[in-house]
Amino acid sequence: EFPWLADLEAGADAIRAELGPLLGEFPSLPRVADIERTGDYEVEGWRAFFLRFAGRSVPAHAQRFPRTCALLERVPGLYFALFSILVGPSHIPEHRGYTKCLLRGHLPLHVPRRPEDCRFRVAGETRHWHRDRAFVFDDTQPHEVWHDGDEPRVLLMFDFHRPMPAPPPPVAGRALLRGHP
């Protein structure tokens, strides 16, 4: 359904090359709890680095990650993008996104060697991330994460506008278009 995911997957090595120096800055990166301030994400080992927020790029970050941002520009309706870095042991409690207007994508860039060390449950189904294999889900469905290992899990996480078919014109509008009363 999302042919542009293949472009992101094919660009994963380039993204990782730009990402390398950022991983050394982990302790100074903002905690997701400090950004969200909802109380739902009090996870000490979860950090974020934004590339796009509320539909706008972060210019200094775009300059630092030009290839990553160029690949993200291929995502139609891109609204939000960040590097999500999680170290274990951690648990991100069950939570839900706030709007059906967006879908969420994950491109796993670094995953623990043992897949069972880091897992993700959405809408009752538990999965493991696989390096360079992107996927999309509706984050308004309940989801949570467990990380039991000691290697970081790093995702390129992004939200984009949900593709929707154009609504049919109202019945009255269709009648007027056909010339009927």
Q: Tell me: the pLDDT tens digits for 70-108?
A: 999 999 999 999 999 999 999 999 989 889 999 999 999
Residue 35 phi, psi (nearest 5): -90, -50
Instruction: Decide: pTM greater than 0.85.
Output: yes
Band of pLDDT at residue 41, cut at 50, 70 and 90? low
Match 């200094």 to its residue by tokens. 60
Q: What is the mean pLDDT of the chain?
A: 88
pLDDT recorded at residue 38: 53
Task: Collapse the DSSP code of 94 into the 3-class scheme (helix H, G, I; strand E, B; otherwise coil) and give the result.
Answer: strand
Helix, strand, coil percentages for the chain (3-state, nearest 5): 30, 35, 40
Biggest CA pair distance of the chain: 70
Secondary structure of 25-81 as H, E, C letters:
CHHHCCEHHHHHCCCCCCCCCEEEEEEEECCEECHHHHHHCHHHHHHHCCCCCEEEE
Q: Does residue 168 carry a pLDDT above 70?
A: no
Among residues 111, 94, 115, 83, the alpha carbon closest in space to that of 18 is found at 83
pLDDT band at 54 (very low <50, low <70, confident <90, very high): confident
The 3-state DSSP class for residue 166 equals coil
Q: What's the confidence (pLDDT) of residue 39?
A: 53
- The Cα–Cα gap between 10 and 40 comes to 33
Spatial distance between the Cα atoms of 9 and 41, rounded to a whole number of angstroms? 28
Q: How does residue 62 score in pLDDT terms, banded at 50, 70 and 90?
A: very high
Contacts of 88 (CB under 8 A, 6+ apart): 45, 112, 117, 118, 147, 148, 149, 150, 151, 153
Q: Strand 118-122 and strand 143-147: pairing?
A: antiparallel
pLDDT for the residue numbered 167: 61
Decide which of 116 and 10 is more confident: 10
Q: Please report the pLDDT score of residue 74 as a whole number.
A: 95
Q: Is the pLDDT of residue 180 over 70?
A: no
